[in-house]
Amino acid sequence: MEFEYWQLLLFPLFFALGWVAARIDIRHLVKESRALPRSYFQGLNFLLNEQPDRAIEAFVDAVKVDPQTVELHFALGGLFRRRGETERAIRMHQSLVDRDDLPQELKLQALAELGQDFLKAGLLDRAEQVFEKLRGSDLDEDAKRNLLEIYQLEREWEKAIAIAAELPDVASHKEIAEYFCELAAADMMRSHREAARQHLDTAIEHNRKCVRASLLLGDLEAQAGNDGQAIEAWQRIEQQDPAYLALVAQRLLDAYRRQDRREEGLQLLRSYLEHYPSLDLLDVVFQLVLEGDGADAAYCLVRDELKRNPTLLGFDKLIEARLLVAPPEVRADLELAKGIVQGYTRRLARYQCDNCGFKARQFYWRCPACGGWETYPPKRTEEFDLTP
């Protein structure tokens, strides 16, 4: 390979150019750091030392010294919102929105942050106005998702349906089916049965496994005195998700009673209890057996079920059944034991959200904590914990 000695001069030249470039970068950084107010660095120091209150005070001072620090405005506004100081966050982001010298991209970002401030503060109408302005912009999809959240909070279900249709990934139409169920439930309260039926039919078109639609269809038929059709609607839940049969067990029992078909209803509910064990189902079947076959049969039912599915809530029911057949001399001891057990079961007789873990005494179709739809399994906490 041919090599000229003069080419060796290129190596020191390259090193010299690299040294000059590094010096220029360092000088630029030093110049920028000197341009920043001293309170900015104090704020960073407070953040590193986990002193958020003092950090915010320092950043506020930095913004006063140099109002052009846009990124610092955004950071400070976000800190205010996370701390619940929504009024200060709103003022911070509103000042950015009102600036004429701000590039369009940053102005849209400031507007989006302002919408989040209004949403956090519960000013839903003002948040809606902000996100409507963002529709059609680069932040269009985020604006639609925030509008969807607002419409759900305001229970504006028709608007929610319209905007959810523009978001193809909304839980495979499961949420849209729930919106139609909400409309149907409102119509049923106003005795608008035909409108309710149409909404429920549309809900099932969007999600054929929509348990709530079948439950409400059964309620609709029962209101009209059509117990046979109501039973058929509630029985369809077994094909959709049998775990939810516990929610309609009492409804089924009442419908069979009105039709003088108690034994048929008892056999159906016993079959459900055998195949889909549930404490709520056990409670309904227990009451039915107690009324028809007496205390001894009810006690045997609970005892056998407890052997099959041992739970503390089931044990509480066993003590209740035992009290019905126990001789007077042992009832005081049983009542004492029942009182002790109930002290623990009150904490277990709750429903728990699969998404966020929020626990509630009543069943919700939409979690009040995280806003997820159909995230509550129809089981009590103890059953939930025992599920493999």
| Residue-level pLDDT at 59 | 52
Residue 338 has pLDDT above 60, yes or no: yes
Rounded to two decimals, the pTM is: 0.73
pLDDT (tens digit per residue) in 243-261: 899 899 999 989 998 998 8
Average pLDDT over residues 88-110: 83
| Residue-level pLDDT at 53 | 57
367 is in an annotated binding site: yes
Reference 159, options 168, 150, 171; nearest CA is 150
Mean pLDDT is highest, among 47-51, 253-257, 276-280, 302-306, for 253-257
210 is in an annotated binding site: no
| Residue-level pLDDT at 55 | 55
Residue carrying structure tokens 């503060």: 121
| Residue-level pLDDT at 60 | 53
The pair phi, psi for residue 46, each rounded to 5°, is -65, -40
Neighbours of 184 (CB within 10 A): 28
Q: Which residue has the higher pLDDT, 232 or 78?
A: 232
CA atoms within a 13 Å half-sphere pointing along the CA-CB vector of 369: 13
Position 25 confidence tier, pLDDT thresholds 50, 70, 90: very low
353 is in an annotated binding site: yes
Give yes or no for a contact between 312 and 345, defined as CB atoms under 8 angstroms apart. Answer: yes
Neighbours of 226 (CB within 10 A): 15
| Residue-level pLDDT at 133 | 92
| Residue-level pLDDT at 38 | 53
**Euclidean distance between CA atoms 245 and 211, whole angstroms:** 9
Domains and CATH numbers, the chain: 68-166 (1.25.40.10), 271-348 (no CATH), 350-387 (no CATH)
Q: Which residue has the higher pLDDT, 185 or 20?
A: 185
Burial of 228 (0-12, 13-18, 19+ CB in 10 A): exposed
**Euclidean distance between CA atoms 216 and 196, whole angstroms:** 9
Residue 20 has pLDDT above 60, yes or no: no
The pair phi, psi for residue 198, each rounded to 5°, is -65, -40
| Residue-level pLDDT at 327 | 77
CA angle (383 as vertex; 377, 388 as ends), nearest 5: 90
Q: Dump the DSSP string for 287-336.
A: HHHHHHH-HHHHHHHHHHHHHHS--HHHHHHHHHHHHHHS-HHHHHHHHH
Residue 77 has pLDDT above 90, yes or no: no
Please list, in sequence order, all residues whose beta carbon lies within 8 angstroms of the beta carbon of residue 335, skipping any fewer than 6 positions away: 323
Torsion of CA 324, 326, 332, 333, to 10 degrees: -110
The pair phi, psi for residue 256, each rounded to 5°, is -65, -35
**Euclidean distance between CA atoms 338 and 290, whole angstroms:** 19
| Residue-level pLDDT at 57 | 57
Give yes or no for a contact between 110 and 97, defined as CB atoms under 8 angstroms apart. Answer: yes
Position 63 confidence tier, pLDDT thresholds 50, 70, 90: very low
Mean pLDDT of the chain: 78
